[in-house]
Amino acid sequence: MPKHHSSPLKCGVIGYGGAFDMGKKHLREMQLAGMVPTAVCEIDPGRLDIAKIDYPGIQIYTSVDDMLAKRDTEILAIITPHNTHAPLAIKCLNAGKHVVCEKPFAITTEECDAMIAAARAHDLVVSTYHNRHWDGWILRALDVIHNKNGIGEVYKIKLNMGSRGMPREWWRSFRTISGGILYDWGVHLLEYALQLLPNQKVKEVSGYSKNGFWVSQADTAPWKGDPNEDEGRLIARMDSGAWIELMITTLDSVTSPRFIEVIGTAGAYEIEWNMWRHTRWNGDVKVIEEGRHPPDEGKQLYQNINDHIMHGAELVITPEWARRMIHIIDLANRSATEGRALPVKYG
């Protein structure tokens, strides 16, 4: 890790677009972690005007090359469409900047490999914004399942997201830009499952998809020539014999409000948006407890990255961890096309 950094770290963002106000969110969380916002790059002049209001005195750029040439910012968050993450990250790493990509890390395994190689070549950090690693619902689930042995041996995890409805007319609905339907919320759900199955490796992935329904219903939709799948599903087989089932849909009419179901030999732990349900067996008696989720702790992400760079703390969201989710989804997409299960390299 490079030894010469300002104290505090100077940070910036590439992308200050309007969706979810993510540019402001990233800079705010970096600031709370002890970093100093210094630069914003954005192609929309209107959004740059908003950035100047949000952060008076911040340097603004419409070109990444200009930003890298003129500014001494040390760490950059990339908040742009999924298919731009890898090329922008590699450009920034080659310019000597630490990088945090919005999730997903990238779209293909090869892109992840190239990003990791660039970071290693320059002794820099590359990570991704897996802030949901610290969601309250998963932190409590981990405590109940692992620390309290609340459901016995976990042998199956089911995750689903979505409902029936035509996709929105935005870039996330284009497959070549987004990567496909599994990449947006799917990386979060898959990470939850891998957190819940620690020290286990994925051996094999099967993918399934349904395509074409919404295209036939939307003659003028801008994504008609390049749509995401109507539904994507993956099944990952672990080396322990456990398995993960992940489904993201815009077509299924009967999706469950329980978007995470962790099934064990002695019970189950279910997660809905606003509550958890813990089912366990006391002899022949079924015991059910329910409650509200504890607060999220996602701000730990940038605090950890700052502490890693400045003080040598262990990095939680390593690029190898981020690559793991992308590799599994990448294989699921290939499996759906090829009609066969595929072996896993980065399980």
Please provide the average confidence, as pLDDT, over all residues in the chain: 95
What's the one-letter identity of residue 65?
D
Give me the half-sphere count of Cα atoms (radius 13 Å) on the Cβ side of residue 258.
Answer: 14
The pLDDT score that the predictor gives to residue 268 is 97
Q: What is the pLDDT of residues 124-158, one digit of tens each?
A: 999 999 999 999 999 999 999 998 889 999 999 99
Tell me the mean pLDDT in the region 252-280.
95
Q: What is the pLDDT of residues 26-73, one digit of tens each?
A: 999 999 999 999 999 999 999 999 999 999 999 999 999 999 998 889
pLDDT of 16 above 50? yes
Strand residue runs (E) in 184-339: 202-210, 231-238, 243-249, 260-264, 267-271, 276-282, 285-291
Q: Per-domain residue ranges for the chain?
A: 10-129, 136-298
Q: How far from chain centre, in Å, is Cα 136? A: 16
Domain boundaries 136-298, corresponding CATH code: 3.30.360.10
From edge to edge, which strands make up the β-sheet containing 126-128? 59-61, 36-41, 10-14, 75-78, 98-101, 126-128
Give the separation between CA 51 and CA 41, rounded to whole angstroms: 10
The pLDDT score that the predictor gives to residue 149 is 81
Tell me the mean pLDDT in the region 317-346.
98
The pLDDT score that the predictor gives to residue 7 is 85
Q: What is the pLDDT of residues 218-259, one digit of tens each?
A: 889 999 999 999 999 999 999 999 999 999 999 999 988 889
Q: What is the pLDDT of residues 74-120, one digit of tens each?
A: 999 999 999 999 999 999 999 999 999 999 999 999 999 999 999 99
Same fold, 10-129 and 136-298: no
The residues, any chain, with a CB within 8 Å of residue 32's CB and separated by 6 or more, are 299, 302, 303
CATH topology of domain 10-129: Rossmann fold (3.40.50)
